[in-house]
Amino acid sequence: MSTYAKLFRMPPITPRWNTIKDNVKRQVFAETELEQRTLKSISRNTLLPTKVRMQAQLQLSAMPKLSKMSQIRNRCVMTGTGRSVVGDGVKLNRIQFRTRAISGELPEYKIGGW
């Protein structure tokens, strides 16, 4: 089964509080992902009786906020910053991305002038 939240690789710098917090959230979600998915599918299924659906929804809401997918934020792999992270396969901050693209470590990206 493919997981939404892959384990966050800790950046090679000295760990900060934000990176540690994000790493903990990902690990907790990966453990409780199967429970959350099953409860969500039961609560959304209209063919099932309402009592069962309500019970599943209550169990889902009783779980801690820390274990939810919405609490995870993508971070830069090298620096650990949460702002201006380049998506689409590149897990880097804009400054790290720019230095690598100019030096040629990301060969798919080229400098454009217009």
Least distance from another protein to the Cβ atom of residue 79, Å:
14
The upper half-sphere exposure of residue 11, i.e. CA atoms within 13 Å in the direction of its Cβ, equals: 22
Binding mask 78-97 for another protein (x = CB under 8 A): ------x-x-x-----x--x
CB 96 within 8 A of CB 13: no
Residue 8 contacts another protein per CB under 8 A = no
Residue 107 contacts another protein per CB under 8 A = yes
Angle between helices 50-62 and 33-44 (to 10 degrees): 150
The footprint of another protein (CB under 8 A) covers 47, 84, 86, 88, 94, 97-98, 101, 107-114
